[in-house]
Amino acid sequence: MDFKLLQDRLGHTFKDAALLQQALTHRSHSSVHNERLEFLGDSVLNCVVASLLFERYVKIDEGDLSRLRANLVKQQSLYEIAQRLELSQFLRLGEGELKSGGFRRPSILADTLEALFGAIFLDGGFNAARDVIRALYIPILDTVDPKTLGKDAKTLLQEYLQGKKIALPQYNVVATHGAAHNQEFEVECLVPKLDIQVFGTGGSRRAGEQAAAKLALEAVQNALLKSTGAARKTRPRASQLKLAGIATIQSETSATGSETPARKSGRASAKTTEPKTEIDDRTIEGNQTRLDLKSESESEADADSRVAEKSPAPPASEDKGASPSPSQTKTA
């Protein structure tokens, strides 16, 4: 069996090929198997992952770091890494395991990967094992959320509802199916405030609750997302209102060609200019009235002068103190 392809994927070339072969050997194949290397590799893996998390997440406390590490080194995580390496094609299994599909079994693949870490440690030292493990785990850490990694669905649902100040969900077993030794539990999860009801099933009550909680979390997130979107559509933002006000002012300015003092200073300015406008109107009316009166008086004077020209002159009035006329003197 050619192990060069596997060494290229791991990024480490073994000096001692026997260590690599032992790491890939299951106990069903021969007496020289990988269980001791698995024990060593498990310790190396925990140390390297702990160091990686310590460096990467400087603000996370010890409890959350322990949760993250436990989730990253568990069987399922190791199995997924082994699948990416296509480790199953390099396993050395006994005939019984080969017939039963042992090369696909998650436990065998996870244990073999840990044995490989132990073999690399013995072959190249701690730094060599650290480099291989970091290269495999950094892409995983780039895609996970440290706040939720390793938390079960019920915990995530509870924390999400508490963050939104919504009452905690209610779980009820609504039915059981199957024989007593192989029952399946159907559990409902209720979030009354959002009118959400979902059902989950599992081989135990706890498994059914976890399945229902996962569905409920998705339903809650979708419901809140829709309500937030509807609120944004019906209620304009303050910035939009400000822009609308600016557009109105600009349209008024462009319509007249210039801004009046009232438009520049707002309503208060507009109110102060109103009395001035009324006074100006009264002043104009008063001036017009005086002009009309003057015109009437001038017309009457002209009429009187014309009448006086047409009528004869009145006789001279007698005055005792006046001197006699020549005719009167002659008569006397």
Residues catalogued as catalytic: 42, 114
- Element holding 191 (H helix, E strand): strand 184-191
Alpha carbons within 13 angstroms on the beta-carbon side of residue 328 total 5
Q: Which of 262, 269, 263 is nearest to 249 (CA)?
A: 263
Q: Which residues contact 36 (CB under 8 A, 6 or more apart)?
A: 118
Residues 226 and 141: their CA atoms lie apart, in Å, by 31
| Residue with tokens 């399945």, as numbered in its chain | 211
- Element holding 97 (H helix, E strand): helix 95-99
Burial class from Cβ neighbours inside 10 Å (0-12, 13-18, 19+) for residue 138 reads exposed
CB 34 within 8 A of CB 21: no
Residues 221 and 164: their CA atoms lie apart, in Å, by 11
Give the single-character DSSP code of 25: B
Give the single-character DSSP code of 199: E
Pairing of strands 184-191, 170-177: antiparallel
